[in-house]
Every structure is written in structure tokens, then in C-alpha cells.
Amino acid sequence: MQKIRPCLWFDDQARQAAEFYVSVFGGESAVLDITYNGEAAPGETGTVLTVDFRLAGQEYTALNGGPAFTFSEAVSLSVDCESQEEVDRLWAALTEGGAESDCGWLKDKYGFSWQIVPRVLPELLGGPDKARAERVMKAMLGMRKLDVETLRNA
């Protein structure tokens, strides 16, 4: 069992969100367990309380906690993408019904924030060539979805 498991607070969309995320990431992703409200629970008896799920090997819990709390950009998931094709695929899936933001950030249709990051970005921003890093940073700051070729050419 994973020692630390992030818990994502939803109003009443935990199951839909978990199933959506699993469909987007595929591979090692799966819904692991669903618990339901009993008579003593705060929600309506028989409705979904929590959903445990795995995305690319990382486990999460989605909680139907009601409308008291909402997501903000203060917490996001950063996704390491091997290629522009993976960036494009995840960006398209996660922005559908959501919203694009700057520098590879987006909000999905549930209001949760993601960073869709090409694997090459840290290499381009690091290393001894400080002028290149500045050009790459400037290029990135002008983007919404990150474009690997433009970043490499900066």
C-alpha cells in the first residue's frame, strides 16, 4: 500500500472524475475501490462517498465531500510527457469542458489543475547555457500548451 495518497475533494462527482482520469491516462490506471455512504455517514445512504483510483502507478482517493471546498491552482498535478504527441493528447482530453491557462497549465472540467510538461523542458531550462535557459523561459511564458519544437528552437 502506498504510504501517502492524495485525496481530491469533489462536491458529488468523485466517481465520474476518477473514471474520467482513468480513461485519459490508461495503462496502469484503474478504479480500485468505491465506498458508499451508509446510514451513519453524512451523505445520502447508498451514494458514493469515496473512490480509490490509480493513475500511471500513483494512487489517489476522490471524496464526495460536498460544496464546502473547491480546487485552486495552489494544488496541481504535473504530468511528465515523453513527446509532443503525449502533450497534445493529454491537453485535448483534459481541457475538454475545462480551461486552458498559461505555461502548460490547465483546469479540467472538474476544476482541478494540471501541468502538462514535456520531459525535455527541465533540460532546456537547466544546464550551463544561461542564455538558452532565458530564451526557453521567455518562449514558455508566451505559451498555453507547451510546444516542444518551439522550446528547442528558442
Contact 116, 100 (CB under 8 A): no
What mean pLDDT do residues 19-32 have?
Answer: 97
pLDDT category at 2 given cuts 50, 70, 90 is: confident
The per-residue pLDDT for 82 is 97
The per-residue pLDDT for 104 is 98
What mean pLDDT do residues 6-13 have?
Answer: 97
Q: Are strands 30-36 and 48-55 parallel, antiparallel or unpaired?
A: antiparallel
Radius of gyration of the chain (CA): 18
> pLDDT tens digit string along 93-149?
999 999 999 999 999 999 999 999 999 999 999 989 999 999 999 999 999 999 999
CA separation for the pair 99, 108 (Å, rounded): 6
The per-residue pLDDT for 113 is 98
The per-residue pLDDT for 41 is 84
pTM: 0.94
Q: What cell does 123 get?
A: 533540460
Average pLDDT, the chain: 96
CA separation for the pair 48, 75 (Å, rounded): 24
The per-residue pLDDT for 50 is 98
The per-residue pLDDT for 140 is 97
